[in-house]
Amino acid sequence: MLVLNVLGTPSAKQDKIGKPKGNQLKISVTAEPTNGKATDHMVRFLAKQFDVSVKDIEVVFGQMNINKQLRIKSPKKLPSIITSNSIHKS
């Protein structure tokens, strides 16, 4: 199980995983922050990045907030920004 503390940025120019800020990973998505759509879009984007299905990513808290915690079940791959930084893995 991989636990990510996320600082989300909605309405970005592109979907991307940025550099860590403190203990949070910056993740930008193109979706608008309306009714949790940006978080849903983020989960779909991250599912591709970690090579897991959408149902393998749980939003622990922060569905409607820029500060979130996500749990990713058995990621098959890790984006390079994560492998080069220490992120909590349990």
pLDDT-derived band at 80 (thresholds 50, 70, 90) equals confident
Structure confidence by residue, pLDDT tens digits, 45-66: 999 999 999 999 999 999 999 9
Provide the whole-model pTM.
0.89
* Top-confidence residue, 8 or 19: 8
Residues with Cβ within 8 Å of residue 31, at least 6 apart in sequence: 10, 11, 37, 38, 40, 41, 42
Domain extent listing, the chain: 2-77
Question: What proportion of the chain, given as a percentage, has pLDDT over 90?
Answer: 80
CATH number, domain 2-77? 3.30.1200.10
The kind and range of the H/E element at 19 are: strand 16-21
